[in-house]
Structure 1
Amino acid sequence: MLVSLFVCPLCQSPLQPAADTWRCDGSLNPKQTAHPFDVARQGYVNLLPVQQKKSKTPGDSQQSIEARKRFLVAGHYAPLQRLVCQKMGQLLGQDASISVPTAKPDKNPVNWLDIGCGEGYYTQAMAQMGSDIITTLIAADISKPALVELAKVSKAAGQLWYQQHKDKAENTTVIYPLVTSAANLPLRAHSVTGISSIFSPILPEAFAKVLVDKGYLIIAKPDVGHLTTMRDALFDSVREHDSDKFLQELAPYFTLIETHRVSTEMTLSATDLADLLTMTPYAYRARSEKRQTLLAGVEQQAFSTEAKFVVYILQKRADQ
């Protein structure tokens, strides 16, 4: 790990990880005092200062996290998970020169940021690719309950950064679970090789700032026709997903190099459908009677719908 990979969210001074407390050196603090950030027992670090919070408990709720975990573990979105990891492997394998400089000429580390990682379904798959692909995986989300889940799984697998010397098996990617805001990333400028944003916020300037020259950005979004039968059952009128509306905002910073689409037919039980509803915005956007009618019907017969996703692969522009 590079010593200066992380910066203090309060004063932007270099931030040094440690097993018990992360501490900045205070060099950019007008008072020259260091800010400490304790490591939670589960293994995550909270780098979201109270002044950066927009609510008392930002991000996904515990109920939403548990529903998403059950739904994803059942494999319903596995095709998207495989596609994202496949494209990451191709990008990083084909261009070994795009990485963060290091003192060791024989191996350049690849630092990857998974922004909006949630409980870690996609993050864990990325970590399984091994350190030959990704050396350091920064798993970031604004939801503390989500990071608790991710950190517990990572710790059990011996993947946390402070386990790398004692428990870390060879070829294991090191994971840093961080509670943080996408708008105020606690990362040094030009320090990460790539960023993945899977159903998460898109912040072009913030992403470009932390990416290395010619670094990659992978974005996954719902595609046109995503969960159409479910949305038709929940709403009187359905507005289609405008999946590429943000590409114009990215254009000053990134060049679109590939677009991929993947879909999967799903036959859902009542439990699966209830979890899908809970993990999506439809849980609160749809009227209660519509939700209840839909779920009651599935008690008699499994519900069929199609998940459709679009994955964009972009590269940081040379003039950024």
Structure 2
Amino acid sequence: MPVSLFVCPLCQSPLQPAIDTWRCDGSLNPKQTTHSFDVARQGYVNLLPVQQKKSKAPGDSQVSIEARKRFLNAGHYQPLQTLICQKMAELLAKNELPSEQTNKPVNWLDIGCGEGYYTQVMAQTGMDTLIAADISKPAIVELAKASKAASSLWNQKDKNDGIKTAVIYPLVTSAAHLPLRAQSINGISSIFSPILPEAFNDILSDEGYLIIAKPDIGHLATMREALFDDVREHDSDKFLQELAPYFTLLNTYHVSTELKLSADDLADLLTMTPYAYRAHTEKRQALLASVSTETFATKAKFVIYILQKMAVA
């Protein structure tokens, strides 16, 4: 692990990982003093200073995380997980990324990783270091636990000796203030997470990759029709214009899957999405009541974008 991969979120000085406490060297701090960040017992590190928080407990709540874990672990979105990781593995297999021959590790960032449903499989696609970042502390706690169970946590001595698995660094951090050195990352994945063109451009190496997954047109259409009087369609590619100054779009992929949901599945899906608070309580209750005796049918539709950072002329 290069010493300077991480930077201090307070003064941007190089930040050195250590088993108990991460500490910056203070070289960029006007006062030349250092900052320290304790490693939690689960193995994650909180690099979200109070001044970068917009609320006391930012990000997804424990209730939302538990609902998402149940829903995703039931396999409802597995086709999306499979396609994302397949495309990621193809990119990592290309000679354009650093390889063992150049002795340069491949560093990947999964931004807005949540509890790690996609992250854990990403770790098996060929990179060396996988930084899993989310602003939600409860989500990162869950991801750290899962990473430890898979013997892939950064501070474990008993790393997985089977198939190549990346070393995972779970971080609580803001996507707008990533604690990473400029041009230190070879790839970024953003699965239903914020798109920050300038921040991504800053930390990505030249010709690094960006994988974005968003809801596609018609995603969960029947559910949204039951919840809202005025259904607005997903404008999935609206951010591409913002990325255009920095990135070239290489490919677009679409994937869909038919869902047959029980009342419990549907309740979890509602809880893990913005529909949990955007829809009127009466409509949510009516929808759940309608599936008390039979499954609810809907279709999940996603779009995946593969982009590459433009080389500096």
1:106 shift after superposition: 4.6
Partner residue in 1 for 2:260: 267
Partner residue in 2 for 1:140: 133
Per-residue CA distance 1:91-127 (angstroms, 9 max, x = gap): 1102x33239xxx855321100000000000000111
Q: What is the correspondence of 1:156-175 to structure 2 with a 5 Å cutoff?
A: 156-163=149-156, 166-170=157-161, 171-175=164-168
Q: What is the correspondence of 1:161-310 to structure 2 with a 5 Å cutoff?
A: 161-163=154-156, 166-170=157-161, 171-310=164-303
Q: Is 1:87 matched with 2:87?
A: yes
2:104 to 105, 108, 117: 108
Structure 2: stretches of 5+ with no match in the other structure: none
Q: Which whole-Å CA distance do the structure 1 matches of 2:279 and 2:287 have between them?
A: 11
Per-residue CA distance 1:53-89 (angstroms, 9 max, x = gap): 0111000011000000000000000000000000001
**CA contact 2:106–2:127 (8 Å) conserved in 1:** yes
Match of 1:169, as an amino acid? N
Q: Secondary structure at the match of 2:89?
A: helix
Q: Which whole-Å CA distance do the structure 1 matches of 2:151 and 2:118 have between them?
A: 18
Q: Which whole-Å CA distance do the structure 1 matches of 2:141 and 2:160 have between them?
A: 23
Q: What is the correspondence of 1:13-52 to structure 2 with a 5 Å cutoff?
A: 13-52=13-52
Q: Secondary structure at the match of 2:65?
A: helix
1:178 shift after superposition: 0.2
Paired-residue identity, %: 77
Q: Which whole-Å CA distance do the structure 2 matches of 1:48 and 1:169 have between them?
A: 29
Structure 1: stretches of 5+ with no match in the other structure: none
Q: What is the correspondence of 1:108-127 to structure 2 with a 5 Å cutoff?
A: 108-127=104-123
Per-residue CA distance 1:203-239 (angstroms, 9 max, x = gap): 0000010000000000000000000000000011100
Per-residue CA distance 1:232-285 (angstroms, 9 max, x = gap): 000111000000000000000100010000000000000000000000000001
**CA contact 1:22–1:36 (8 Å) conserved in 2:** yes
**CA contact 2:150–2:160 (8 Å) conserved in 1:** no
Match of 2:286, as an amino acid? T
Q: Which whole-Å CA distance do the structure 2 matches of 1:197 and 1:150 have between them?
A: 16
Q: TM-score of the superposition, structure 1-length normalised? A: 0.95
**CA contact 1:258–1:312 (8 Å) conserved in 2:** yes
Match of 2:140, as an amino acid? L
Q: Secondary structure at the match of 2:180?
A: coil
Q: TM-score of the superposition, structure 2-length normalised? A: 0.97
How has the CA–CA distance of structure 1 residues 153 and 134 changed in structure 2, closer, same or farther, with 3 Å as cutoff?
A: same
Calculate the aligned-residue CA RMSD, in Å: 1.2
Partner residue in 1 for 2:63: 63
Q: Which whole-Å CA distance do the structure 1 matches of 2:96 and 2:309 have between them?
A: 14
Runs of 4 or more above 3 Å deviation: 104-107
1:311 shift after superposition: 0.2
